[in-house]
Amino acid sequence: MSDLKEKIELEFIIKTSPSILYNRLSTPSGLSEWFSDDVNVKGNIYTFIWDGAEQEAELLNKKENTSIKFHWLDDDDEDAYFEFIINVDELTGETALMIIDFAEEDEKEDSVELWNQQIDQLKHCLGSN
**Would you say the pTM of this structure is higher than 0.85?**
yes
**Does residue 72 carry a pLDDT above 50?**
yes
Pick the CATH number of 6-126 from 3.30.1220.10, 3.30.530.20, 3.30.470.20, 3.40.190.10: 3.30.530.20
Burial of residue 86 (CB within 10 Å: 0-12, 13-18, 19+) is: buried
Among 111, 119, 116, CA closest to 15: 119
Percent of all residues in the chain with a pLDDT value above 90, rounded to a whole number? 89
User: Residue 76: pLDDT band by 50, 70, 90 thresholds?
Assistant: confident
Q: What is the pLDDT of residues 80-116, one digit of tens each?
A: 999 999 999 999 999 999 999 999 999 999 999 999 9
